[in-house]
Amino acid sequence: MKKTVIVSSPGKLIIGGEHAVVYGRRALVTSIGMRLYMQLTVDENTDKQTEKHLLNFILHDTNQRYSIDLSESSDTQPIEIEAVIYVYNQFKSSLSETGVFNIEVRSEIPIGAGLGSSAAFSVCLVGCFHLLCYGKLCLEDINELAYKVECLFHGTPSGVDNTISTFGQSLLYSRVSKKHLNFRLSNLAIIDTGIPKSTKRMVGLVRSFVENTPEEGEKILNDIETCVDAMVEHPDEINELFQRNQQLLKHLGVSIVEIDQIVEILLKNSISTKITGAGGGGCLIALTSTFTKEQILE
């Protein structure tokens, strides 16, 4: 007998609060209209002589295909497969004794661009198994387990990515609280630098900075949180706050020469721009006013 479930989850933009949120400060984050879609089909095996769970996994966007025996998993698998194995083990007791799992993934979210692709993947993966086993979705439970999957990808993430990918909308988020907001920016552009970035490496770089210069580090983290609060309370000052937030991220060491050049060029044209996500590459966000896409590229 075959069972099929399909789920999707949005990508995200951090408007303000990158890295500071890892240290308990507030971040302003919103979901975006780019989604990851995942389909899980289980073909339950009636042959009790082979008590195995097999996995066929397809990432359509990168044309990656894997077939493994889930009972003979190892740590040498690609990170996506490690994630599947981890989630599978959490739900194993609720699954039939044998069968074939077919997972297909399609995504509109660029990988490694700071737009929450791994979080959307983690949330969808947990959501698929949750829906398969329980017939319904409990967002709180999905978010909790998706965070643990995110730890496989990024080490010690803040939890903001999986939370916004689970609940959507806009959030004022910290490790201890989340508040839904009616926060929208109609004049926002996402600029992909085309430079690969590593969230884990950037988080580690900031940790070294904060540990080695604790007084300066704490002040920068507090100033970033002040920017976030002002974005929520005084949206009319968002241009200046973007510039201030970007300078603070630069002081943390997560900007690079190419990003600095983009920010400088756009600022000369009165376009405020900042990193979104971990930095070191990936995407920037810009308050474009009346500029068209073609004018920004020029």
- List pLDDT tens digits, range 178-233: 899 988 887 889 999 988 888 888 989 999 999 999 999 999 999 999 999 999 99
Rounded Cα gap, residues 109 and 96, in angstroms: 33
Backbone region of residue 159 per phi and psi (left: phi > 0; alpha: psi in -120 to 50; beta: other values): left
Closest by Cα among 100, 114, 116 to 40: 100
CATH architecture of 2-181: 2-Layer Sandwich (3.30)
Closest by Cα among 60, 167, 44 to 104: 60
pLDDT tens track for 16-73: 999 999 999 999 999 998 999 999 999 876 555 456 788 999 999 888 999 988 877 6
Q: What is the pLDDT of residue 112?
A: 76
Tokens of 22: 């890892």
Query: DSSP per residue over 22-61, as a string?
Result: GGT--EEEEEEEEEEEEEEEEE----TTS--EEEEEEETT
Q: Are 120 and 7 in contact (CB under 8 A)?
A: no
Tokens of 14: 């951090």
Q: What is the DSSP letter of 11?
A: E
Q: What is the pLDDT of residue 97?
A: 64
Amino acid letter, 291: F
Nearest-Å Rg of the Cα atoms of the chain is 21
114-129 mean pLDDT: 94
Residue listed under structure tokens 């009636």: 46
pLDDT tens track for 77-100: 888 999 999 999 999 888 876 688
List, by residue range, all CATH 3.30.70.890 domains of the chain.
Answer: 188-296
Rounded Cα gap, residues 149 and 146, in angstroms: 5
Rounded Cα gap, residues 165 and 159, in angstroms: 10
Distances from the Cα of 297 to the Cαs of 117, 143, 288, in angstroms?
24, 37, 12
Torsions phi, psi of 229, nearest 5? -60, -40
132-149 mean pLDDT: 93
- List 43, 47, 161, 229, catalytic entry: 161
- pLDDT band per the 50, 70, 90 thresholds, residue 286: very high
Torsions phi, psi of 163, nearest 5? -70, -45
> Which CATH fold would you assign to the domain 188-296?
Alpha-Beta Plaits (3.30.70)
pLDDT tens track for 160-173: 899 999 999 999 99
- Beta-strand runs (E) in 222-295: 272-275, 283-287
Q: What is the DSSP letter of 157?
A: -
List, by residue range, all CATH 3.30.230.10 domains of the chain.
Answer: 2-181
- Strand-pair category, 99-107 with 53-59: parallel
* 161 a catalytic residue: yes
Q: What is the pLDDT of residue 49?
A: 47
Question: What angle in degrees, to the nearest 10, is found between the helix axes of 139-154 and 79-91?
Answer: 140
Residue listed under structure tokens 């904060």: 210
Q: What is the pLDDT of residue 118?
A: 92
- pLDDT band per the 50, 70, 90 thresholds, residue 74: low
CB atoms within 10 A of CB 67: 11
Tokens of 131: 């829906």
Q: Are 54 and 98 in contact (CB under 8 A)?
A: no
